[in-house]
Structure 1
Amino acid sequence: MFGKKAAYFLIVLSGLMLIGCGGGSSSDSPSSLPDDNTTFPDVVLHNDSFTTTHFSGSQNCAQCHNGITDANGTDVSIVKAWQGTMMANAATDPLWKAKVATEVKEHPEYKEIIEGKCSRCHTPMANVEATYNSDTVSLLGDGFLNHDNEYYDAAMQGVSCTLCHQIENTPELGTTEGFTGGFVIDTNNTGTDRKIYGPFMNPRTGPMQNSVQFTPEYSPHMNESKLCASCHSLETPVIATDGTITDETFPEQAAYTEWEYSDFNGTQSCQDCHMPKAEGSVVISTRGNNLEQRAPFFQHKFLGANTYMLEILKKNRVKLGVLADEARFNESITDTREFLKAAADVNITQWNFENGLLNFDVQITNHSGHKFPTGFPSRRAWLHVTVKNSADQIVFESGAINSEGQITGVVYDTATNTYEPHYDKITDPSQVQIYETILEDTDDNMTYILLHALHYFKDNRILPRGLDKNDVNLPETINPHGNAETDNNFIGGSDTVEYEIALPADNYTITAKLHYQTLSYGFAQDLYKNTQLPEVALMKALDARTTNRYETISTDTVSIVP
């Protein structure tokens, strides 16, 4: 971190997407973007009733697994719930497409490696089927995302039913060998020999064999976190800035490994949190006589943190080729927003005013089973702290955000390796506690190019409860980096930041808010340097028309009378 104070009021970077605080039009009209069908043509809607040698579209599953209710009569339809999630829209996501395009532009000589890695988890059915047929695995140009490509329908289904439910319970599942898209689909079987795994014993086989030519089979791994590990612990190859591919890999995300070393391992699985249980027992199919009620039934809501992109998808359904309707997205956004609020909380503690100094601590507690925030490196959370005097005037403010998604006073500059450090103590409004990752390339410079990332300059995302940063056996992939490594208040499950502010004697009201943003301002601006790419130009246009910049996770307020 260099020249922080001098850079305090500079506006160098910019803001983007993927998390929301509500607002904006819900129209999906093509007129929502300028020059709509010339500059940004509508995506061709894919066929969700497709069939391939090994997979079947979600609509084929919906004929039996939609229209089901729980003990309270609540609709817990499987495909309907899934359709409005980021899992269903993994290949529709315009930010993902834009980032893939920029990484390929940076190193076109590695296009095959880049698109192979990205397609494995975002278009997995197309990846598996094309590999089985010895066809080209690619995304851009004439690849999977082109509606004339034979794997288009399978690709645009994202992470769909017959992908997850065909993942084999191999010894590698949940290990480093099974990470980074290392799931296994048994491509030796076709027709009714294809096994479709579920979490319930003694499944009725006939209806599914007759309807979709799969044979259901019980396997306990469907309710285990290791099922999610393949794509949620992901290491990417490292390309040196001179274009040389190295033998190193970089932990782009490690949610499963973070969970593995937390107190949640053995008590709560990924499914327990991200697939909330329905009430009571559920008859999981609308076809068949005298079907057994099943419990527990995990709803296929796949809750996460990405309300911002869900809003973009909802508002631009025609433009982006989205299948889910507005009502489904509204429900998914509401559920996701409430889920986020349960992820962490903020509390003001140990306040006092003596000798012209206002002192107080702000503690952030992580309630999730992995780091907060976790996942893709564009995400960040931060503290917005204000102090008001008895006249209700703001006399101190750290962490304010503007309408563009930029945090006041925070500058990220790859040319000078300037970024906000982790703080144990804050004494000036130019200092902001931001929980995030900052990528370091092979020349020890700050970067936003994923394939240039070798290490983290900074990783102070709040650890899950039970994760001990001093554990000598802790994998390097989930270690904190930067000042958080030596901060004694930065521990498994929480972080405490001390504030010390010089003020005259008065009555004061302190408010602390914990905010979250899926795509940070700096990450967005670096992406938007490449608007000559149609994928990036579209993402920038979509972003410019949204008001959803961040979520407020938690708020606490105290009043102090000296």
Structure 2
Amino acid sequence: MHVLNVRPRKCIGLHFNTSVLRLLISSGLLLGLAVLSACGGSSGGVEITDRDPVPAARGTLPSLARSSADFEGEHHAGSGACAACHTDPGMTIDTPIPGQSRNVSIGTAWETSLMANATRDPYWHAVVASELDNFPELEDVINDKCIVCHAPTAHDLAKKENLELRLFDKVSSVDGSVSQGLLSMTESDELFNHAMDGVTCTLCHQMDGANFGTEEGMTGGFVILGSPTGDPNDRPAYGQYSNPEVGYMRNNVGFLAQYGPHLSTSESCATCHNLNIEPVDESGNKLEGAAHFAEQAIFSEWQNSDYAVGGSKEANCQSCHMPKVDQAVYISQGATNKREGFAEHTFLGANTVMQDMLMNFSDELGIDPELDFAGSIARNREFLTTSADVTLSPAGGVIDDTLSFDVNIENLTGHKLPSGYHSRRVYLHVQVLDAAGQLVFESGRIRPDGSIVGVSEDVNPAVWEPHYDLITSETQVQVYQAIVGNSDNERTHSLLSGSFYLKDNRLTPAGMDKALIRADNTLPDTFGTFGEAFDDPDFNDGRDTVTYQVSVPGPGVYTVSAELRYQPLSFGHLQKLWTQGDRVDQVDNFRTIYDGTTLRDEVIDTATQVMQ
């Protein structure tokens, strides 16, 4: 039973051994460390060596049932019904290798994407359970807000048929009766099959575009109108072609293929990729006068970039995440014509870490183990390398046993990098080797557990690494991320209690000027660049330069390498989440999966240069 199992809370504090305590007292550092730990703040490169303890892992795992994707309901059909025609060995294109082809079937491309697996995502389970633990009085709000975009057809079905909808089982405190949640249902439950199809075919392809791009059309505000005639066979299936073949689809699955150019716009993605929440204080009370806070604002970031319509780099979301093939291709079995400009349904992204978890824990998450996650991971890994460019340039060479150089970064995406949920971070890993190949400097080394040496939040999740324009120590690491603050002006890892950014130095897209954004009264106060990055003169318009001044043994030849790396699940954030693991089963489930996974991050780009 997937009940939200909440155990009594425990107070967790700092613990020092006796020798460390004496040293801190004698050096006068205890007070400063205590204040830093209690009140938060950027560390400024100070090495923090004590970590708040977390409960011991219990080693639990989820046990989700397999669902049926072949359903044909009154409002939606499962992906299996669509894949029956839109997945076929003959849907191929030629590759640069003579004699080799590549299958571009819609069903095969989609089924290993995070869109398809949005409801089986164990990190999402843990975060929702964490928020329910933090704010039990907001249960209905949390379930509604979190399910609408992760299990949208189930949400739509429940709304239209007045069904109770929650993610986890709830046991009545009055009579002990159980109100069943989605995650404990089986394929015999219609709602379960709808939910476990994730962001599925008949959700996107039935969306009406009338409210696209409006505030009402975002934050899960998509509209599924259904049949305009009352005949269930007239339910629309919008697509990118103006001359669809309608007969076979209508006769077999009861959908009427129609031209829907609105689906090929960024505004269609904005329905869930601009997502606001109503912030609350630490007691769960709505913050009066507080503006909406964005869980993500990817569409708005694009809209204020050179990639927006009319911009110098114009490209919509689909251009990158659903790239068009350069050959004509059949897109369904029995099709009479090949189609030009077909947009692949790969939904390319960057979270290979989650895909690795879905692949390796497929049984526990109710996923077909035969799905080609490895191929999808390889595509996304290659895609990630197109998101930024890193170069090195000397900044004076070696002077007085100090090597100076610049690391230059250019964001090549149409949104912030990283974008989306605040667990994500991009960071610089920089090494300097002498002529003998010996390491003389390293900043940003990742450990096997996912923590990064020198990053303060990975020791104490209440603090964070500041934005740097100049790095002189191995304890300083450039981390591009969003740090969220609560109503007490402290860092929070809870989405619902977030109301502003203590730090947002995520790399902006080209065309986004941080000063103009801050001066624009039509944009939310929480949209833009915050913290030290706002005052960094070379951090703007999709670019940043970080100067390194490194102590070296003396004049000579040195090899400098710089990696820009992406980590979807930052270690410090997870350490805070783990503190609920002794009382919230879903948190411990995810911790077990995380501990059983070795992939922690990915390399975006690398630059190497010899300097002297």
Contact 2:390 2:407 in 1 (8 A): yes
Q: Which of 56, 66, 69 is the matching residue for 2:91?
A: 69
Contact 2:91 2:104 in 1 (8 A): yes
2:271 maps to 1:235: no
Contact 1:9 1:408 in 2 (8 A): no
Gaps of 5+ in 1: 15-32
* Cα offset, 1:34, TM superposition: 9.8
Stretch moving more, 183-192 or 344-353: 183-192
Aligned to 1:495: 544
Contact 2:392 2:607 in 1 (8 A): yes
2:606 maps to 1:555: yes
Aligned to 2:217: 178
Aligned to 1:45: 66
Q: What TM-score, normalized by structure 1, do the two folds share?
A: 0.92
* Cα offset, 1:187, TM superposition: 4.1
Cα separation, partners in 2 of 1:349 and 1:271, compared to 1, 3 Å: same
Take 1:173 and 1:182, find their aligned partners in 2: how far apart are those partners?
9
2:309 maps to 1:287: no
Contact 1:70 1:279 in 2 (8 A): no
> Structure 2: which amino acid aligns with 1:295?
E
Q: What TM-score, normalized by structure 2, do the two folds share?
A: 0.84
Cα separation, partners in 2 of 1:401 and 1:198, compared to 1, 3 Å: same
Q: Which of 116, 119, 125 is the matching residue for 2:153?
A: 125
Aligned to 2:174: none
Aligned to 2:322: 275
Say which structure, 1 or 2, has more relative contact order (CA 8 Å, 6+ apart). Answer: 1
Take 1:166 and 1:410, find their aligned partners in 2: how far apart are those partners?
45
* Cα offset, 1:13, TM superposition: 8.2
Take 1:287 and 1:409, find their aligned partners in 2: how far apart are those partners?
59
Cα separation, partners in 2 of 1:512 and 1:41, compared to 1, 3 Å: closer
Take 1:324 and 1:494, find their aligned partners in 2: how far apart are those partners?
41
Contact 1:70 1:280 in 2 (8 A): no
Take 1:71 and 1:6, find their aligned partners in 2: how far apart are those partners?
54
Provide the secondary structure at the position in 1 that maps to 2:167. coil
Take 2:43 and 2:102, find their aligned partners in 1: how far apart are those partners?
56
Aligned to 2:19: none
CA RMSD of aligned residues (A): 2.0
Alignment of 1:194-273 (within 5 A): 194-247=235-288, 248=290, 249-266=292-309, 267-273=314-320
Q: Deviations over 1:429-476 (max 9, x none)?
A: 111100001110011001101101000100101011111111132723
> Structure 2: which amino acid aligns with 1:548?
L
Stretch moving more, 158-167 or 268-277: 268-277
Take 1:195 and 1:557, find their aligned partners in 2: how far apart are those partners?
53
* Cα offset, 1:320, TM superposition: 0.5
Cα separation, partners in 2 of 1:386 and 1:12, compared to 1, 3 Å: farther
> Structure 2: which amino acid aligns with 1:475?
L
* Cα offset, 1:413, TM superposition: 8.2
Q: Deviations over 1:1-45 (max 9, x none)?
A: 35545444445589xxxxxxxxxxxxxxxxxx998xxx5363110
Aligned to 1:24: none
* Cα offset, 1:107, TM superposition: 0.5
Gaps of 5+ in 2: 1-40, 95-100, 170-179
Aligned to 1:317: 362
Take 1:416 and 1:324, find their aligned partners in 2: how far apart are those partners?
35
Take 2:195 and 2:72, find their aligned partners in 1: how far apart are those partners?
12
> Structure 2: which amino acid aligns with 1:349?
S
Provide the secondary structure at the position in 2 that maps to 1:96. helix
Cα separation, partners in 2 of 1:13 and 1:293, compared to 1, 3 Å: farther
Take 1:521 and 1:232, find their aligned partners in 2: how far apart are those partners?
24
Take 2:127 and 2:563, find their aligned partners in 1: how far apart are those partners?
30
Take 2:349 and 2:412, find their aligned partners in 1: how far apart are those partners?
14
Q: Which of 505, 530, 539 is the matching residue for 1:481?
A: 530
* Cα offset, 1:150, TM superposition: 4.0
Take 2:249 and 2:272, find their aligned partners in 1: how far apart are those partners?
28
* Cα offset, 1:310, TM superposition: 0.4
Alignment of 1:343-358 (within 5 A): 343-351=387-395, 352-358=397-403
* Cα offset, 1:225, TM superposition: 0.9
Take 2:275 and 2:340, find their aligned partners in 1: how far apart are those partners?
32
Q: Deviations over 1:521-554 (max 9, x none)?
A: 0111111112122211111111111110111111
Q: Deviations over 1:176-195 (max 9, x none)?
A: 22111011110465511211
Take 2:462 and 2:596, find their aligned partners in 1: how far apart are those partners?
31
Alignment of 1:57-136 (within 5 A): 57-67=78-88, 68-72=90-94, 73-136=101-164
Q: Which of 485, 491, 494 is the matching residue for 1:446?
A: 491
* Cα offset, 1:415, TM superposition: 8.0
Cα separation, partners in 2 of 1:377 and 1:41, compared to 1, 3 Å: closer
* Cα offset, 1:276, TM superposition: 1.9
Contact 1:314 1:325 in 2 (8 A): no
Take 2:214 and 2:401, find their aligned partners in 1: how far apart are those partners?
55
Contact 1:65 1:284 in 2 (8 A): yes
Structure of greater Rg: 2
Provide the secondary structure at the position in 1 that maps to 2:71. coil
Provide the secondary structure at the position in 1 that maps to 2:263. helix
Cα separation, partners in 2 of 1:13 and 1:370, compared to 1, 3 Å: farther
Aligned to 1:191: 232
Aligned to 1:22: none
Stretch moving more, 508-517 or 141-150: 141-150
Contact 2:455 2:477 in 1 (8 A): yes
2:373 maps to 1:329: yes
Q: Deviations over 1:335-393 (max 9, x none)?
A: 00000011112111133222332111101111111111111110001011111222322
Stretch moving more, 127-136 or 82-91: 127-136
Cα separation, partners in 2 of 1:5 and 1:203, compared to 1, 3 Å: closer
Provide the secondary structure at the position in 2 that maps to 1:264. coil
* Cα offset, 1:417, TM superposition: 4.8
Provide the secondary structure at the position in 2 that maps to 1:506. coil
Take 1:456 and 1:494, find their aligned partners in 2: how far apart are those partners?
20
Take 2:49 and 2:62, find their aligned partners in 1: how far apart are those partners?
39
Stretch moving more, 68-77 or 195-204: 68-77
Cα separation, partners in 2 of 1:392 and 1:4, compared to 1, 3 Å: same
Q: Which of 193, 205, 226 is the matching residue for 1:165?
A: 205
> Structure 2: which amino acid aligns with 1:207?
Y
> Structure 1: which amino acid aligns with 2:183?
L
Take 2:295 and 2:394, find their aligned partners in 1: how far apart are those partners?
37
Aligned residues between the structures: 536
Contact 2:110 2:346 in 1 (8 A): yes
Aligned to 1:155: 195
Alignment of 1:14-33 (within 5 A): none
